[in-house]
Amino acid sequence: MRAIRDPLHDLIVFADEDAFLFDLVDTPAFQRLHHIRQLGLSFFVYPGAQHTRFLHSLGVAHLMRRVLDRFHQELAELRSRSPEGREAVEALLERRKVALAAALLHDVGHGPFSHALEDAVHAPHEMWSAAVVRSDSDVRKVLERAGGAELPEAVARILERPHAANASQEEPGEAALRKLLASQLDVDRMDYLVRDAYMTGAHYGRFDLPWLIHSLRLGRVHGVIEVGLDREKGVSIAEDFFMARYYMYKHVYLHKTTRGAEILARSLFRRARDLAVRGGCTVDRPLVAFLRGDLQPNRPEDVATYLSLTDESVWAFVSDVRRTCDDPVLRKLAEDLWSRRPMRGLDVEEEGDPATFESTPPKSPSGGELPPVYVRFRDALLEELLRRKPPSLSGWREEEIREYAVAYDSTDTVPYKDTFFSRGKNGKAAGAEDLHVYVYDREGRAKPLSEVSLLLQVLTNRPLTQRRIYVLRELSDLAVEIWEKIRRKGSPLRGSGEVNT
């Protein structure tokens, strides 16, 4: 028996039957997660946010084991009621090794800088996690010793398809495992909410985790295995859980300064990628190969190269280009990121000002449509910058200022989704394509949580929406001046400090 002391869960113990997990922890692929921060650039705002994907992954495996143990304890009670729940629990417990390995390795392919790098190249980390399990020899050997030649592929399937489209046709154990690892009520969220709250010092993400686990239930609804909660015990803790998620997104994950740093990093990666594709970035680094699209998860040698990407290797790249790069745009973006000068955000309201969100032909770098008010602001800012010629943008061309000096950020997250009030597409009954958290009574009969909780009826399907315009830090005063003119719908200044939009 071996143990690791965790600041959140205290002792994480590897009993003899789960000893293979400690062998997975010892593999270089998993040890790499020591060098991947869980919250990316959030330490710009919350200095304590230095915890890693390594610690989070241990926590997720620990919680998965606690859930499995809880279900095992209640099997006797389930035999006297809820045959669907009993079937799902028994099938899940038969997949104990798959469940624990998938929980531990769910982030083994995660890239540096949280999701900023992932968003820049549109490469989901789930795909790379599955690729590591399939092609990394050390990981495969441990899994094969623990569960035979089939175990690596069983784990990889769970990791690459956390939300299976054909969930209604899956075996009960596999469907239950997917829901426990990736759903609205999963062990991944349970760990990162309380861990991120603890490490940032923000108290919004705290809830009664032991009671939530105690209240979990499995059942079959419309032919689909669903993770839910005991109706008598779980409604209040569900409310706490989803409110914690709401506040963590509002105050931590979507913090204005954190988003400004992430957008700056994303712009830096996008510029480096464009230069690399054109042959203008000759630095021979795994990061450049990744940005260029040269690394493919189906090639073991590329997976090995990808695993050399860490926060430290990206920061080394940033340090090098800020000092030696000939491209003034990339050098400026790198210098701002290195010196903690995130882009400045201006809140865009949805009602009561000119920020109406009708679609308009211009596209954002990510391909989304840009609102007219942002285009108006960007053009006004561009005209003024071309007139003033600030030294910090020396060497920047007009299209580069438009592309990298200003950005529009639209974020939407729904803390609790439930399609009970909009029964699927074309009026179809609830099924695999629909999102619910259910509560089960003593006979195993299910009801959507939204129907039982008055609080979640208010929160259901209500997006947390933030619209912001971001500019390079030194352009803050000018941006505020232009934005206030637009908000007042007045004629933009021209001539001495005025701009024509």
With vertex at residue 71, the alpha carbon angle to CA 66 and CA 74, rounded to the nearest 5 degrees, is: 130
Q: Is the pLDDT of residue 70 over 70?
A: yes
SS3 label, residue 37: strand
Domain layout of the chain by residue ranges: 2-248, 346-410+434-501
Task: Give φ, ψ of 97 to 5 degrees.
Answer: -65, -40
pLDDT of the residue at 492: 44
Q: Is the pLDDT of residue 366 over 70?
A: no
pLDDT tens digit sequence for 191-235: 999 999 999 999 888 899 999 999 998 888 877 788 899 999 999
The two three-digit tokens of residue 473, written as one number:
């830090």
pLDDT of the residue at 444: 83
Average pLDDT value for the chain: 85
Rounded to the nearest 10 degrees, what angle do helices 53-73 and 187-200 cross at? 130
pLDDT of the residue at 25: 97
Q: Is the pLDDT of residue 127 over 50?
A: yes
What's the mean pLDDT in 384-393?
A: 94
CA pair distance 181, 158, nearest whole angstrom: 9
pLDDT tens digit sequence for 151-172: 999 999 999 875 444 544 567 7
CB 155 within 8 A of CB 162: no
pLDDT tens digit sequence for 422-468: 333 333 333 333 467 899 988 888 998 888 998 888 877 777 788 99
- What percent of the chain is predicted at pLDDT more than 70? 85
Pairing of strands 464-471, 406-413: antiparallel
Residues 6+ apart with CB under 8 A from 210: none
Grade residue 493 by pLDDT with cuts at 50, 70 and 90.
very low
Q: Is the pLDDT of residue 501 over 80?
A: no
Start-to-end C-alpha separation, the chain: 69
**pTM of the prediction?**
0.89
- Amino acid at the residue 39: L
Residue length of the chain: 501
CA pair distance 70, 218, nearest whole angstrom: 12
pLDDT of the residue at 78: 62
The winner for highest mean pLDDT among 84-88, 122-126, 244-248 is 244-248
Task: Give φ, ψ of 179 to 5 degrees.
Answer: -65, -35
Q: Is the pLDDT of residue 47 over 90?
A: yes
Q: Which CATH class is domain 2-248?
A: mainly alpha
What's the mean pLDDT in 72-87?
A: 71
pLDDT of the residue at 498: 39
